[in-house]
């Protein structure tokens, strides 16, 4: 009986672990600044590792800056809510896909390797639009 269950557990571990790998690291934060992960909430302290699916949330005076493993850089402004909906990256080939959703607030981006890997491999969604990043520096603002 036990032998029947262990391989399933091992398989579950194998399929879960790549998705839980580090995708970015917090470099700085000020004011009210947190990472929401599932139902949990972590202070956005420098060095904190981000996982795909995490949400960056700031209050009135909050700011967060972070760098991704493909060299993309983010600066999140006050009163913001930004989710990394999808982040897949092959470090050897420097290719992947990246979808960020800006629900509110402001986000400055310097794109990295993923944006260069394929046309529109990096996308940004706002409540009323979808953008394809073609390698650049830009700001997205979503007022309340």
Partner 1 sequence: MRGLGRLAAAGLFLGLSACQHSSLILLPDEGGGHGAVAVLEANGKPVDAVVSQPDSRTKLGDATPTTRPAQLKGDEIALLSGMPPPPKSFTLYFVEGTTDLTPESQPALAELRAEIARRPGVDVEVTGHTDTVGSAEDNDRLSQKRAEQILGLLATVGIHRSLMTAVGRGERDLREPTMDNVESAINRRVEVLVR
Query: Site residues (CB under 8 A) for partner 1?
Result: 25-28, 46-48, 63, 65-67, 69, 71, 73-75, 77-78, 91-94, 102, 106, 108, 110-111, 115, 120, 123, 126-143
Tell how strand 63-68 and strand 95-110 pair up. Answer: unpaired
Nearest distance, CB of residue 67 and partner 1, angstroms: 5
- The residue among 53 and 77 lying less far from partner 1, judged by its C-beta, is 77
Nearest distance, CB of residue 64 and partner 1, angstroms: 8
107: Cβ contacts below 8 Å, ≥ 6 apart: 74, 75, 76, 77, 80, 82, 100, 124, 139, 140
- The residue among 7 and 127 lying less far from partner 1, judged by its C-beta, is 127
6 in the Ramachandran plot: left (φ > 0), alpha (ψ -120 to 50) or beta? Answer: alpha
Nearest distance, CB of residue 70 and partner 1, angstroms: 10
Nearest distance, CB of residue 32 and partner 1, angstroms: 15
Burial class, 12, CB count within 10 angstroms (exposed 0-12 / middle 13-18 / buried 19+) = exposed
């Amino acid at each position: 009986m036990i032998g029947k269950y262990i391989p399933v557990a091992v398989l579950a571990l194998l399929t879960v672990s790549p998705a839980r790998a580090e995708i970015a690291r917090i470099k700085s934060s000020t004011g009210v600044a947190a990472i929401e992960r599932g139902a949990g909430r972590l202070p956005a302290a420098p060095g904190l590792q981000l996982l795909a699916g995490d949400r960056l949330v700031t209050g009135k005076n909050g700011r967060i800056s972070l760098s991704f493993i493909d060299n993309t850089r983010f600066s999140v402004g006050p009163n913001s809510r930004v989710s990394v909906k999808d982040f897949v990256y092959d470090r050897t080939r420097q290719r992947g896909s990246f979808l960020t959703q800006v629900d509110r607030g402001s986000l400055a981006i310097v794109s990295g390797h993923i944006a260069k890997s394929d046309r529109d491999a990096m996308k940004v969604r706002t409540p009323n639009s979808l953008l394809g990043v073609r390698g650049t520096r830009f700001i997205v603002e979503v007022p309340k």
